Amino acid sequence: MTPPRAAPCVLVTGGLGYIGSHTVVALAGHGYRVVVVDDLSNSSIDVLAPVEALCGTSVATYCGDVRDREFLATVLGRNPVACAVHFAGLKAVGDSVRMPLEYYDVNVNGTLTLARALEAAGVRRVVFSSSATVYGDPAVAPTPETHPLAPANPYGRSKRDAEELLADLCASDPRWGAISLRYFNPAGAHPSGTIGERPQGVPNNLVPYIAQVANGERPALRVFGDDYPTPDGTGVRDYVHVMDLASAHVAAVARMLSRPGNEVINLGSGRGYSVLEVIRAYEHANDVRVPYEIVPRRSGDVPRYLADATLAGQLLDWRATRGIDEMCRDAARFQRMHVQRAPRPARTPASSPNRALSPAS
Ligand code: NAD
Ligand code: UFG
């Protein structure tokens, strides 16, 4: 189904990545025209075909870097963008400790460059991908948006800085609107199994790691610590289905298009699961075994993250509707459909950073 020509146009940076690809599909399903910008540094152009199949229409996609202002100006000049959803960024906590300059450059400078390009184009609405990591080790769980921010690593600090940049921008000009969405722990995949999370190399995150172990691609999961002050001693997280996250972005875009101002909103279910509970849920949902061993704590981990998602209900009329079983089933389906694929190239060739992969319509 092709959305009507008058449908608002949304620029999605990082639209071929994990959460971005699901959001592109959800936006198209709600009649938005979507334009994607992605430098393919952590995704593949192979994602575009299943995204377009799920959208039922072509998606104008531009390969380039959000830190390249001229490139963004070209994209914005060719498309009548009404709002941007800014996913493009780096997200590995450990890498951020080793490469802080890269993290501040992509996550903060990338947001700054995008904001400047949007300002120049007169597009003053942005939905931003932030993270529960900005809370550091929260003193209160469930954690509300008003909790003090104390990010414990460069990744978290870069997200906090980008949030503050957008808040300052909104305070400086009443025409600007920004919603920073603080995701708790995204998991799962599209129920078709055609798009999902494809980590490069060894997965950092729990559910993709479990999926590879269950599929026989890795021998066992290492459970990082069983001596946390939680019911079974393993880390507790608030897992949220990526399809629910995608719906929240659709609601945030609609809100952005209707009003300016700065808002920060948690996205989680308010329900926590320990590592051992996730393992059992995965085993039960997929009738598989997930061998594991307990190893020492991972540096930088906190005992518990749990969202107070009241504000998301109030402002976006959103709540998480899919539970851990559905996340495990959908993650497993995607894993089965994507095992034994050839490894993807790590980065876009430097010689063609701004290649338009499909012309703007
Ligand atoms: P992802 O790596 O799958 O997606 C990010 C996309 O952005 C990729 O397609 C990548 O190629 C692209 N990209 C990276 N740098 C770019 C640049 N300079 N210019 C253009 N494109 C660029 O990650 P994701 O899990 O989909 O996360 C999306 C956003 O949500 C990120 O900003 C991340 O920090 C944030 N977030 C993710 C999680 C999580 O656990 N997945 C949790 C909280 C917040
Ligand atoms: N875990 C294991 N073994 C693994 C991987 C993870 O035991 O192989 C444990 C962790 O110790 C933690 C839980 O599983 O207790 C969840 O770990 P993840 O790595 O999946 O998620 P994190 O909570 O550490 O971080 C994730 C994203 C961040 C994001 C944060 C927001 O990676 O980018 O959620 O809550 F900011």
Q: Tell me the per-residue pLDDT of 7-51, one tens digit each, with 9 for 90 and over.
A: 899 999 999 999 999 999 999 999 999 999 999 999 999 999 999
Angle between helix axes 275-286 and 324-338 (nearest 10 degrees) is 60
- What average pLDDT does range 111-120 have in this prediction? 98
Q: Which residue intervals of 122-205 are DSSP H helices?
A: 154-172
Distance 284 CA to ligand 1 centre (A): 30
Query: Distances in Å between the alpha carbon of 277 and those of 14, 197, 308, 328?
Result: 31, 21, 21, 12
Please say if 155 is a catalytic residue.
Answer: yes
Positive or negative: CA dihedral 309, 310, 316, 317: positive
pLDDT confidence tier of residue 349, bands split at 50, 70 and 90: very low
Nearest CA owner, ligand 1 atom 1:
17
Q: Residues enclosing ligand 1, CB less than 6 A?
A: 13-14, 16-20, 37-43, 65-67, 87-89, 91, 106, 110, 129, 131, 183, 186
- Helix, strand or coil for residue 240? strand
**What's the pTM value of the predicted model, to 2 decimals?**
0.94
Domains observed in the chain: 9-338 (3.40.50.720)
Give the tens place of pLDDT for each residue, 205-258.
Answer: 999 999 999 999 999 999 999 999 999 999 999 999 999 999 999 999 999 999
Does 284 score more than 70 pLDDT? yes
- In this structure, the dihedral spanned by the alpha carbons of residues 96, 41, 43 and 114, taken in order and rounded to 10 degrees, is 80
**Burial group, residue 220, by CB count within 10 angstroms (0-12, 13-18, 19+):** exposed
| Cα separation, 120 vs 25, whole angstroms | 28
Strand partners, 267: 183
What is residue 296's DSSP assignment?
P
Q: Please give all residues whose beta carbon lies within 6 A of any atom in ligand 2, as ranges.
A: 91, 131-133, 184-185, 204-206, 209, 221-224, 235, 237, 275, 298, 301, 305
